[in-house]
Amino acid sequence: MATSEIAPDVSLVQAYPDAPALRFDNVSVGFEGKDVLENISFEVKRGETRILLGPAGVGKSVLLKLANGLIKPDSGRIYVFGFEITSMREEDLYPLRDCIGMVFQESALFDSLTVRDNVGYRLAEDHLPEDEIDRRVAQALCFVELDHTMDKYPSELSGGMRRRVAIARAIVSRPSLILYDSPTGGLDPITSTTIIELVIKQRDVYKTSSIIVTHRLQDAFMIVSHRFDCNTNKMEPLPPNQTDPQTSFLILHQGRLAFDGSTHDLIHSDDPFLKEYLS
Amino acid sequence: MPLTTIDEAAKKGVSAVQRYSLLSAQALGNLFRRPFYGADLITQMDKIGVGSLPIVILTGFFTGGVLALNTASSLAQFGATAVTGQLVSLAMIKELGPVLTSLMVSGRNASGMASELGSMVVTEQIDAMRALGTDPLKKLVMPRIVATVVMMFFLTIVSDALGTLGGAFVSIFMLGQEATQYFHSAYQTLQYPDVVQGLVKPLFFGFIIATIGCFYGMNTRGGTQGVGKSTTQAVVVSSVLIIFVDFVISKFMIGIFGR
């Protein structure tokens, strides 16, 4: 694994082609003297989707922020596309973050910018021509089926629409890793299904590596048991007893990783906590 | 107070000063690093400078007026009302122009910066900005600091001019003094060190207003209540610092120029 700084002209994602998209190596972090995450180790292979489950307040969002370098761990190392981000300076992290999309728990849209400017924010920062920004924003909004909201402000949208705009903002630069922080949190079941469909579409159409944080088991199992059909432009269930091979689970419990494995292993686990959690 | 509490308070204080210094230094360092957010700088100049113009004009004009009223009544006892213009212009340009303008701008803009940035922090917009590859210190803090420093300089000039005019209005139309006499004494008394002192102060005050506003905004914790707390703290701390730094600069300048 490399610890070097990022050369601006190197294709970051392909700089270490054999490295996983994300790797946590004995990562621990705490706040105000209280340990939140302890010795967390796992990896997300390229093209793989990991569903991160756990009770509320266990540190799922903290883990995502660690993965994006928004928080530094107290100990351990985190590698993103082979680059060790724990020892990087903030300014060196910015080019790497261009390869990562993040959907925040409460959307975190810029409330003084229109939907167009929110989704096209990263493109505008990269000084792309206005025509190109408009085209890419329209494409991303079309993906989340919100192409009619270009000129609206976030406050004029419903919770579900805001979450879809946040997904459009995360995917507009075609990132190689997407971090979804409770994308369905606080939404009604119908809107949640729409969001999950978008997550599955992104996974199956673009094969993007991702971590999906959720505390809703029904969403998690919908992700592993469905696929996206490009012909019908809808998600459909996989055949019975079949799950998506590229999607697996991580479960946090009391700051530690209680489970890291496939859907089959999770369902057949004898661990008392997992049995209780899944029941 | 238990010893541990004093210890904790001291640590918090030192840590706050350290974080404030780091934020200021990083924001200033960003002046010379790409990308340069010129459009944001212009927007902030408009918000802070043009937006503060009405309150600065009103404050300056009436301060000059009340200064003329008070000094004229005191000077009348010694038959020296002829030097009213002199007192008004010296007080406005050396002291009241910069300080009152800064306090007004602080009330309007330090609070605005703290609440705007604080709201962005508690709604994770700052984290989102970082996640989208933008340095918030470059995009949000640096333009505010530069805009406030630059605009404070011009706002002080406006305040000085309006204060002198306010004094003239009261002296001529209410106290029946000669306009020529007022303006002549107001102009003749001013020397180069007075003007330098009056124009150096707003640069420091502008820096204090912007850095304190941004510091409290960027360090907001605890939801909407936290935003309110940050806003109040930003105005209180920047106002106190302005008065303190005014004293230090005045002492320093008098030491250099002898007046």
pLDDT tens per residue, range A158-188: 988 999 999 999 989 889 999 999 888 878 8
Look up residue B58 and give its two tokens: 């009103």
**Cis peptide preceding B35, ω within 30 of 0:** yes
Residue B16 lies in a domain: no
DSSP label at A276?
A: H
For the stretch A148-151, contacts whose Cβ atoms lie closer than 8 Å and that sit 24 or more positions apart, written own/partner, are A149/A115, A150/A114, A150/A115, A150/A116, A151/A114, A151/A115, A151/A116
Q: Which pLDDT band holds residue A6 (cuts at 50, 70, 90)?
A: very low
Pairwise CA distance, residues B39 & A11, whole Å: 30
Domain containing B202 equals 35-257
What is the DSSP secondary-structure string of B221-232?
-SHHHHHHHHHH
The reported pLDDT for the residue numbered A66 is 95
Q: Span B128-145, mean pLDDT?
A: 93
Q: Span A242-246, mean pLDDT?
A: 89
The C-alpha of A126 sits at a distance from chain B's nearest C-alpha, in angstroms, of 10
Which chain A residue is nearest to residue B132, measuring alpha carbons? Answer: A122
The C-alpha of A279 sits at a distance from chain B's nearest C-alpha, in angstroms, of 33
The reported pLDDT for the residue numbered B3 is 66
**C-beta atoms of A91 and B135 within 8 A:** yes
The ipTM (two decimal places) reads 0.87
- Residue with structure tokens 């139309």? B173
Look up residue A96 and give its two tokens: 């790497």
pLDDT above 70 as % of chain A: 96
Contacts of B138 in chain A (CB under 8 A): none
pLDDT tens per residue, range A90-114: 888 988 888 899 999 888 999 999 9
Which chain B residue is nearest to residue A102, measuring alpha carbons? Answer: B131
Q: How distant is the alpha carbon of residue B109 from its chain centre?
A: 9
**C-beta atoms of B132 and A91 within 8 A:** no
The reported pLDDT for the residue numbered A151 is 92
Contacts of B132 in chain A (CB under 8 A): 97, 121-122, 125, 169
A178 touches B: beta carbon within 8 Å: no
Cα distance from N-terminal residue to C-terminal residue, chain B: 45
Pairwise CA distance, residues B59 & B100, whole Å: 8
Smallest Cβ–Cβ distance between A104 and the set B128, B133, B135 belongs to B128
Contacts of B22 in chain A (CB under 8 A): none
The C-alpha of A232 sits at a distance from chain B's nearest C-alpha, in angstroms, of 32
Pairwise CA distance, residues B112 & A125, whole Å: 25
Residue closest to B217 by CA, chosen among B203, B206, B227, B232: B227
Contacts of B128 in chain A (CB under 8 A): 102, 104, 108-110
Pairwise CA distance, residues A165 & B177, whole Å: 67
Smallest Cβ–Cβ distance between A122 and the set B123, B127, B132 belongs to B132
Taking a contact as any Cβ pair under 8 Å apart, which residues of chain A between 93 and 112 contact chain B? 94-95, 97-98, 100, 102, 104-106, 108-111
* Model confidence at A252: pLDDT above 60: yes
Calculated CA dihedral for residues B87, B93, B99, B101, nearest 10 degrees: 120
Lowest mean pLDDT among A18-22, A39-43, B32-36: B32-36
pLDDT above 90 as % of chain A: 55
Residue B111 lies in a domain: yes
Look up residue A245 and give its two tokens: 């091979």
Q: What is the CA radius of gyration of chain A?
A: 18
The reported pLDDT for the residue numbered B59 is 95
Structurally, chain B folds into a number of domains equal to 1
Contacts of A122 in chain B (CB under 8 A): 132-133
Contacts of B137 in chain A (CB under 8 A): none
Yes or no: say if A37 and A54 are a contact pair by the CB < 8 Å rule. Answer: no
**C-beta atoms of A105 and B124 within 8 A:** yes
Backbone angles phi, psi at A11, to 5 degrees: -70, 105
Residue B1 lies in a domain: no
The C-alpha of A26 sits at a distance from chain B's nearest C-alpha, in angstroms, of 23
Residue B77 lies in a domain: yes
Question: In Å, how far are A67, A257, A263, A278 from A270, measured between CA atoms?
Answer: 30, 16, 14, 11
**C-beta atoms of B127 and A65 within 8 A:** yes
Pairwise CA distance, residues B158 & A192, whole Å: 57
* Model confidence at A4: pLDDT above 60: no
Q: How distant is the alpha carbon of residue B125 from its chain centre?
A: 28
A169 touches B: beta carbon within 8 Å: yes
A91 touches B: beta carbon within 8 Å: yes
Residue B120 lies in a domain: yes
* Model confidence at B254: pLDDT above 60: yes
What is the DSSP secondary-structure string of A221-269?
HHHHHEEEETTTTEEEEPSTT---TTEEEEEEETTEEEEEE-HHHHHT-
pLDDT tens per residue, range B8-49: 889 888 999 999 999 999 888 888 888 888 899 999 999 999
* Model confidence at A208: pLDDT above 50: yes
* Model confidence at B1: pLDDT above 80: no
Backbone angles phi, psi at A258, to 5 degrees: -85, -20
Contacts of B133 in chain A (CB under 8 A): 94-95, 97-98, 122, 125
DSSP label at A172?
A: T
Residues, chain B = 259
**Average pLDDT, rounded, for chain A:** 89
Contacts of B129 in chain A (CB under 8 A): 110
**C-beta atoms of A110 and B128 within 8 A:** yes
Residue B27 lies in a domain: no
Residue closest to A209 by CA, chosen among A51, A90, A53: A51
Within 8 A by CB and 6+ apart from A267, the residues are A278
Contacts of A105 in chain B (CB under 8 A): 124
**C-beta atoms of B124 and A104 within 8 A:** yes
Residue B5 lies in a domain: no
Pairwise CA distance, residues A51 & A250, whole Å: 6
* Model confidence at A1: pLDDT above 50: no
Residue B154 lies in a domain: yes
Q: Span A30-34, mean pLDDT?
A: 87
Smallest Cβ–Cβ distance between B124 and the set A94, A95, A108 belongs to A108
